[in-house]
Chain A
Amino acid sequence: MAEKLEAKHSGATWLAARKIEHAATTDPVELCFERGWTDGLPVTPPTDERVIAMLKGTRRKPDETVGKIPPNLVDCTIEKVAINAVMAGCKPEYMPVLLAALEAALEPVFTLHGVLATTYFSSPIIIVNGPIAKRIGMNSGINALGQGNRANATIGRALNLIVRNVGGGRPGEADRATLGAPSKYTLCFAEDESDPAWQPLSAARGFAPGTSTVTLFQGHGPEAFVDQKSRTPEALTKSFAMSLVKIGHPKLVQSARAVVVLSPEHYAIYREAGWDRARIERALYEATIRPGAELVAGADGVGEGIPASRANEQVPKFHEDGLMVVRAGGAAGLFSAILPGWLAGRNRTELQPVTKEIRP
């Protein structure tokens, strides 16, 4: 009601975004489609009342600039973020997460322009850590990578809508994806931090315990990993490696990173053996090192592969910092997930995941 009154009496004067007038008889949802403002799904029409309510989710001023959004490199204000958040279906309390995600995406080392423009499948994947995830009702449990949770669904969607609407990044224009992926609509989830023995992703990336963060990863997915029979960490690690080496192509190496989303039942095998995050990540890295002779172009009659000059090397699939393990998922199911990264990681120092603290 407060927003309704504010919109009626003053919203029209202090909101800066252009008004798009339409006849009262026009369906505003259809108008959003006609204007090209949607990702193909209906959006919530950004009325003054809704935008004003959304802006109450952050302490930051509506005219403050967050950064320049690629591909058109135009300034994006908090108000424009709020408008797109309304359209994506966000609640005001998601704004701090969305703003942190946007700031992470705009770090040069995230290469958002490239992620958008690539012919590959990638888009920003958002992983949320810390108390804010529970506070806003994010899902890290059953179906964490799937549908049905408003915060998971709409925060990721809002980030992609900002790139589309503010940055001008549209499929067939700057977005040159050959096939794309459903994860380009949204892929956002929280890490399961219920086990105090587990080091959350945020802590592994240098943030103090209890800090709420977003980690952005350039990838797509998920791809399924099934192992219902391995019962030791060594066997499970070898098993994971058999799936991880297939990312992109089994004979491509040291380009894509990967996130391993470790389900509770698979995690239990590691936990009972006393393996922590660092040990799991290191063991997965080592288990994906293979003889170069098997990977060279032409080997096994397959044209794809690494240069023949590397035939005598032991070749890792990933860079040493190329794997991130995240815990999520429902209690039942010896299934985990792999989120393959963008193949453009040949120069790993210029293309990295980014973690940012979430501030009010």
Chain B
Amino acid sequence: MNNLSFLRDPTAETEAVMRARRAPPASLDGLTLALFEIGKTRSDEFFDSVEKRMAERGIKTRRYAKPTNAKVAPQEVVDRVVAEADLVLIGLSD
């Protein structure tokens, strides 16, 4: 008698890769901070305020946005953030 049975795997049969989180920089001096709006209401107000504060501290910022909060960011936008900024600040809420 066979002692083993089997089922078929219902998953995508992929494995998650755990990556260590990058340590935050000790200082923002000389770095470019991406301000990333995800399309939620009043994101612009929040980032206007952050942008102003960063400018007062002499920190360079660049603005980015998703077209809608209902979908993931287009790859092209993600690629631009990676190419043009050192850090990213994402505003998640309404």
Chain A interface residues toward B at CB < 8 A: 15, 17-24, 26, 28, 31-32, 37, 45-48, 51, 69-70, 72, 74-76, 80, 83-84, 87, 108, 111, 113-114, 161, 165-168, 342, 344, 346-347, 350-351
Contacts and interface: CB of A to CB of B under 8 A. Distances in A.
Interface residues of B, number: 21
Contacts of B9: 17-20, 83
A16 B69 CA distance: 37
A72 B14 contact: yes
Nearest to A85: B10
Nearest to B72: A113
A15 B13 CA distance: 14
A24 B72 contact: no
Given A22-B5, A69-B12, A168-B11, 19 more contacts: A19-B6, A21-B4, A21-B5, A21-B6, A22-B6, A32-B7, A37-B10, A46-B8, A47-B5, A70-B72, A72-B12, A76-B12, A108-B71, A113-B71, A113-B72, A166-B12, A167-B12, A168-B14, A342-B70
Interface in B1-53: 1-14, 41
A15 B71 contact: no
Given A113-B71, A114-B70, A344-B70, A84 B7 contact: no
Contacts of A26: 5
A344 B11 contact: no
Majority DSSP secondary structure for residues of A touching B: mixed
A347 B10 contact: no
B10 A46 contact: yes
A75 B2 CA distance: 34
Contacts of A350: 67-68, 70-71
Contacts of A47: 5-8
Nearest to B5: A24
Contacts of B67: 350
